[in-house]
A and B are shown apart, each in its own frame.
Chain A
């Protein structure tokens, strides 16, 4: 039963994308695609064959597989709703951050392997933004580790999530709010959502993540899509676990966290419908702002 969070992540992660798309459709006054559309897409892609360009090497073929594998291992570290993660050890939050980094590295290398100028441009942007998002993520997690486990920064994600209670909210709610905001910006950046990247754009010049995966087809593209929804789920679960206080009764906690996941999907859809995408030069300012919030949370925590 330790594997419950992992199983839920594996099954439910494409649904988050469906909820986001449905929210966006509702904002635009449309009916929108069915909630299960991402599953249909994955199934359709898996039926197809893959086409490989003759200029690519084995790196291009390995990219989607290894990056999905890295994301799957990261999924084993993420707890949900009072259930500890399938694997948890002290300092696993750093492993979590860099497993996602490994997945991104492979996507970037595969994009460069195609030799396409557009993909190179997308890869460069992706790396630039994720380098700016990383301090916000790690410093935010450090601040949470400091208040929840007390002193030791090297705690595990499961420990951190189980320590969030109403009492902690009353005691250092400001820190939690700052970290949640910083992590939400990281969440939007890492999953290439508006205001950083537009997942629906069809113009290579403006794409970041989407342009890197243009040359993948069939099952490879299915792996990439599935890995992306898994990443969406994992970073969402990270925030929800830090915001929703745990009561100690696992059914309540699990339901609360699942409602939280739906809520974060709806919020993402709403942000995407109401905001325009930022100009490329403004994005670093946003990410530096997120990092500033995380540092502020850490400083406030060390003061007390």
Chain B
């Protein structure tokens, strides 16, 4: 559809790659916030009947939650833990970027073989591959990064990917479903923030590799 939607999707992919190539936690939070904010605008651009009040409200809620509330929460738990950057991830930060590109190429290939249900029309032919790539990128972050905070970020990226997918499949998802998902994510991040806070209080670090030694 609009090339503006395409531009947003491409920026989302770039942010994915930048996130994979960042080891420090503070910039990572900022990148995820930027991704959430820019995705909040996507439903406005792909809706067929133009931006109604409902969609506008939803966009404002998404932007406020993903762009303002989540970073605030995450910054707070970052301050309370003394982690500054990723130490010894499973896959190095520089090596993650080429792997992210492989995931991206794989998503393009997968999306080209995807059979959409009849009657569903995708707003832009970038939506499906970008959604898959973002989901895979989130999973990749959760698997390879060992700081608990980075895993929360991976969870958020994963949710962003599902959000893109939702935009692709249903031009106008029911308001209730959309707000319900937003609420779930909010509660999820809230709980994880508290968990990180408690972990760092008890252990002086948020390295998940060490958490297997919980038993005394």
Contact = CB atoms under 8 A, between A and B. Distances in A.
B146 interface: no
Contacts of B97: 285, 288-289, 292
B94 A284 contact: yes
B98 interface: yes
Contact of A299 (B6, B14, B105, B125): B105
Contacts of A299: 101, 104-105, 108
A295 B93 CA distance: 18
A36 interface: no
B101 A295 contact: yes
A30 interface: no
Interface in B52-108: 93-94, 97-98, 100-101, 104-105, 108
Given A285-B94, A303-B126, A303-B129, A292 B105 contact: no
B93 A285 contact: yes
Contacts of B98: 288, 291-292
A292 B105 CA distance: 11
A295 B104 CA distance: 10
Interface string B1-26: 00000110010011001000100000
Contact of A296 (B7, B93, B94, B101): B101
A296 B13 contact: yes
Contacts of B14: 296
B104 A296 contact: yes
A284 B98 CA distance: 12
Given A285-B21, A303-B129, A292 B101 contact: yes
B166 to A, nearest CB: 21
A168 to B, nearest CB: 14
A303 B7 contact: no
Contacts of A292: 17, 21, 97-98, 100-101
A129 B101 CA distance: 20
A288 B108 CA distance: 21
A299 B108 CA distance: 8
A300 B125 CA distance: 11
A300 B129 CA distance: 10
A251 interface: no
Contacts of A304: 125
A289 B21 contact: yes
B94 A303 contact: no
A289 B21 CA distance: 8
19 contacts: A285-B94, A285-B97, A288-B21, A288-B94, A289-B21, A289-B97, A292-B17, A292-B100, A292-B101, A296-B13, A296-B17, A296-B101, A299-B101, A299-B105, A300-B10, A300-B126, A303-B125, A303-B126, A304-B125
The 7 closest A-B pairs by CB, nearest first: A295-B101, A288-B97, A285-B94, A292-B97, A292-B17, A288-B94, A292-B101
Given A174-B10, A304-B125, 8 more contacts: A174-B7, A288-B94, A289-B17, A289-B21, A292-B21, A296-B14, A296-B104, A299-B108
